[in-house]
Amino acid sequence: MVYKESSIGISIQANNSLNFISSILQAEAAGIRVAWTTIGGVGGADPLTVSAAALTATKNIEIGTAIIPTWPRHPIIIAQQALALEQLAPGRLRLGIGPSHEPMMAGNYGVNWEKPLTNLKEYLQIIRMLLETGEVNFQGQTVSAIAKIKDPYPVTLMASALRQRSFEACGELTDGAISWMCPKQFLIDHALPALQIGAERANRPIPPLVAHVPMLVTDDRKKVYTLAKQLQRYTTIPFYRAMFEKAGYTDIDEQYPKTLIDDLVVSGSESEVAEHLVNYINAGCGEVIAAPIIDPDSPAESFEKAVAAIALADSKLKSKK
């Protein structure tokens, strides 16, 4: 298993591949150790392909995927892509995968959405076996794989998690559980114990909880509420609604109540944002992915402020070691 030290990284949202690489270079120059991309984080381009280009354009920064959906790609293909990136930049890839959600996977790809947690577990096992041993012969309920590769290379293999059973699965099978839109107290009260249950069941160390946190460097909380509207689509996704209810928010309709936005979105001055991000580590999370909310009225400035705050947070974290 591959484990990483604690860090506070940045989630990059770019319009195209060139802008993505430019943003990665900016983050690396600021001293940020890990940059992440999401499903739509490269303006529709393939995140693993663009990550390969970014890894060759940079020297030290690690690049993570949060996440690569399982359904559209066979696990052998994901493993082969990950191996290519590891060969280009050994030790700098953090491969995060997940089943995503039914509306996107069934609507966009026409997949037969059944047993998503079983699907994730089987993908994790296949990718792990292939990259650690060089071969796999696996017959599962949702996917099967028979393959061999030369010169296997273990990667940091992570997965998305939202509710109890998925966090347990991450504790059992991954090098880290990647959250999204989860209130901090929910992570502490529910996600961390579930990770421990899964790890104990598999008799292995507890992998880190990676808190994926929206953030905006501004003292104008009214602006935060306005810009957070771009996150409202998660109120329509059943798994997220169930998680919010578990976290104590039962009054969600078509938009987030302000109390939930206060719980989800970190904001304030540069130093205040940095301190809030470090507090996730202090509370028990192993890593943080800070996801800048970009102000459309000043996109370059808001991104620069976010980079500065995240770099400050990560330097605070390193200084505590």
pLDDT digits (tens, 9 = 90+) for 291-304: 999 999 999 999 99
| DSSP-based helix, strand, coil % in the chain, nearest 5 | 50, 20, 30
Predicted structure pTM score: 0.94
Q: What is the pLDDT of residue 317?
A: 84
Task: Tell whether the model's pLDDT for residue 320 goes beyond 90.
Answer: no
Q: What is the pLDDT of residue 255?
A: 67
For the segment 239-253, the average pLDDT, to the nearest whole number, is: 84
- For the chain, give the longest Cα–Cα distance: 55
Q: What is the pLDDT of residue 254?
A: 61
252 vs 254, higher pLDDT: 252
For 94-114, letters b (16+ CB in 10 Å) and e give: bbbbbbbbbebbeeeeebebe
Among residues of the chain, what percentage have pLDDT more than 70?
97
Q: What is the pLDDT of residue 6?
A: 81
Closest CA to 62 of 124, 121, 13, 10: 10
Please identify which residue in the block is written with the tokens 């459309």. Answer: 296
The lowest-confidence range among 25-29, 49-53, 107-111, 306-310 is 107-111
Q: What is the pLDDT of residue 231?
A: 81
Q: Please state at what angle helix 299-319 crosses helix 17-29, rounded to 10 degrees.
A: 40
Q: What is the pLDDT of residue 236?
A: 78
Task: Tell whether the model's pLDDT for residue 1 goes beyond 60.
Answer: no
233 vs 203, higher pLDDT: 203
For the segment 235-239, the average pLDDT, to the nearest whole number, is: 81
Quick one: pLDDT band at residue 274, thresholds 50, 70, 90?
A: very high
For the segment 34-63, the average pLDDT, to the nearest whole number, is: 94
20 vs 247, higher pLDDT: 20
Closest CA to 239 of 104, 122, 75: 104
Q: What is the pLDDT of residue 39?
A: 85
- How far apart, in whole angstroms, are the C-alpha atoms of residue 190 and residue 165? 10
Q: What is the pLDDT of residue 197?
A: 98
Would you state the CATH architecture of domain 8-319? Answer: Alpha-Beta Barrel (3.20)
- pLDDT tens digits along 194-215: 999 999 999 999 999 999 999 9
Q: What is the pLDDT of residue 301?
A: 96
For the segment 245-260, the average pLDDT, to the nearest whole number, is: 80
Q: What is the pLDDT of residue 234?
A: 84
Q: What is the pLDDT of residue 244?
A: 87
For the segment 115-138, the average pLDDT, to the nearest whole number, is: 97
For 237, the 3-state DSSP assignment is coil
Across-strand partners of 65? 37
Average confidence score pLDDT of the chain: 93
Among residues of the chain, what percentage have pLDDT more than 90?
76
Q: What is the pLDDT of residue 40?
A: 84
Q: Cα–Cα distances in Å, from 37 out to 24, 145, 274?
A: 10, 27, 21
